[in-house]
Amino acid sequence: MKESGSRTRALAKTAVLAATYVALVLLLAPISFGAIQVRVADALVGLVPLLGMPGVAGITLGVFIGNIPSPLGPLDLLSTVPTFISCLIIMWLRRRSVLAGLISYSVILAAWVGYLLNYVFGLPFLITFAYLLVGIGFATAGLGYLLYRAMRRILGEPA
């Protein structure tokens, strides 16, 4: 019975995180897409080290659903692959440096989205990558790290 309860709890965490991510992307759509973006929903990536695999699944699912209305079209649904890999990197680095994991996520996603924008719209990759890195880095490594620290304090986890 306990195993069923923990599975249900993990599924609930995944669903709530994914739904929150999607809601933030859609509510803030004008700044969630494009070459200059601050996807505030990416701050939720800061919860991945605390939630574990339900966090990885929630962010990945949230990115998939949130990208359905993307100006890049169905191609942007492939963003779930680098998102999933980046979240796994965060999990791998969480014992060493959560901030390093969040920065890795920012760099990987900025490179991926920069590539997509270059491929679809012909935008210059390096300039687009730089703009994206600032926006994604602010949301993920900045806001996400602050969210991580605040939640650790709320949960009473040691520093």
Q: What is the band of 1 on the pLDDT scale with cuts at 50, 70, 90?
A: very low
Mean pLDDT confidence for 7-25: 97
CA distance 124 to 21: 28
Read off the amino acid at residue 109: L
- pTM of this structure: 0.94
Helix (H, G, I), strand (E, B) or coil at 92: helix
Domain housing 131: 2-29+38-155
End-to-end CA distance of the chain: 33
Q: Which two tokens stand for residue 29?
A: 């759509």
Q: How many domains does the chain have?
A: 1
Tens digit of pLDDT for each residue in 38-90?
A: 999 999 999 999 999 999 999 999 999 999 999 999 999 999 999 999 999 99
Give residue-wise pLDDT tens across range 112-159.
Answer: 999 999 999 999 999 999 999 999 999 999 999 999 999 999 998 776
With tokens 């990208």, the residue in question is 67
Residues 6+ apart with CB under 8 A from 56: 48, 84, 87, 88, 90, 91
